[in-house]
Amino acid sequence: MVQRSIRRAAVTCVAALLVSALIAPPSVAATKPKKLARGLMTQGVVARLWPAIVDVWNPIIEWRDIEPEPGVFRFGPIHDLIKRAREHGDLLRLRIFAGRAAPDWALRRFGSVTIHDPIDGVSAAVPRWWVPEYMDAYARLQRRLAAAFDDNATIRAVTISGAMTIYAEPFIRQIQDSRTRANLREAGYTRRKDKRAHLRALEAHTAWSRTRQILTVNPWQYVNPDGTFGFRVWFTKRMMNACRKTFRNRCILQNNSMRSSWLTEHMPGGYAEMFAHMEELGPPLSFQTANISRVGDLSLVLDWFVEMGAHGAEMKSEADELLSTDEAVTYDRRLEANG
């Protein structure tokens, strides 16, 4: 028991030191952030989704497309998006996919692990995100992106995705699939390495000084050495705290899972505590609805977003089938009022 307590205390001390190392320098923290992109938003680029109302896009940019070889950066896809958005008078929040969208050279150089998503049936090889050299490469990418776009007025936010697997929801590990659990253990994954990777991903984004940073949160999923698995909210809460301490009001906390059944029936384990902590930390907050097949009563979900104090809500492409134009106008205004 004494040895176990000593080990636990040592791990806690190391984690605390890592978090403290992520605090932005005063000159960075004090820099005036860009204005929030507010209101109803598209997930991706969906021109037909209430074009007269929605003026914020959340496009996916694949890492492999902008750094096809180590140190070779091609930001043409981002420049094209900026041009398109400006033509419409719209704004961008970039969701740069690492994980399954990482370049082939990253898979070869840092090793890979195949992840199986049991919800959407997607399987993909992703880099071993817990390898320190992989996070060095991710940090280099963020430095180059920040140098190119931190002063660009159209890009208002970027997503922290260095530790992601299938989706830009880095706390989700697809561990309900036994193949994923076995593959992770064989590839050298440990809970401690995973936590360090989350902290490194956050640190990588300190290259940005004006652009908002989006941390997408869920209860942290993990696998134990014996193959058992679970989730813990305390680490997600610690990461939310670290994000706010590092970026202050530039840190946008977001969740992409909400559906009406969670509000009227049962909320999965850990989510109620996580959402309570988000509400305690306060704005800026934004959300993405669950897929249309799962979201249920969209109006109920959007009402909850507004009550949480969210300034933005990412909508699926079929949302206009569940919400009238007049309703969309009202929700857009209510969300903007929170910003």
Query: Model confidence over 241-288: pLDDT tens digits?
Result: 999 999 999 999 999 999 999 999 999 989 999 999 999 999 999 999
Q: What sign does the CA torsion over 255, 271, 222, 204 have?
A: positive
pLDDT of residue 30: 56
Dihedral of CA 218/222/228/233: which sign? Answer: negative
> What is the pLDDT at residue 17?
47
**Confidence at 23, pLDDT banded by 50, 70, 90:** very low
Extract the tokens encoding 115: 């992840």
Identify whether 264 is part of a domain: yes
For the chain, what is the domain count? 1
Q: What is the pLDDT of residues 156-188, one digit of tens each?
A: 999 999 999 999 999 999 999 999 999 999 999
- Return the CA Rg of the chain: 19
Question: What CATH number does the domain containing 78 carry?
Answer: 3.20.20.80
Q: Does residue 9 lie within any of the structural domains?
A: no
pLDDT value for 319: 93
| pLDDT for the residue numbered 1 | 44
What pLDDT was estimated at residue 263?
97
pLDDT at 105: 99
Q: Residue 24: inside a domain, yes or no? A: no
In a domain, 29, yes or no: no
In a domain? residue 11: no
Dihedral, 9, 180, 101, 212 alpha carbons, nearest 10: -40
**Which of 246, 234, 157 lies closest to 204 in space, CA to CA?**
246
pTM: 0.91
pLDDT mean across residues, the chain: 92
User: 16 lies in a domain?
Assistant: no
Spatial separation of the C-alpha atoms in residues 53 and 55, rounded to whole Å: 6
For 66, the domain range is 38-337
274: nearest Cα among 311, 312, 237, 313: 237
Structural domain contains residue 22 = no
Is residue 115 a part of any domain in this protein? yes
Contact 96, 159 (CB under 8 A): yes
102 near 64, Cβ under 8 Å?
yes
CB burial string 205-228: b at 16+ within 10 A, e below: bbbbbbbbbbbbbbbbbbbeeeee
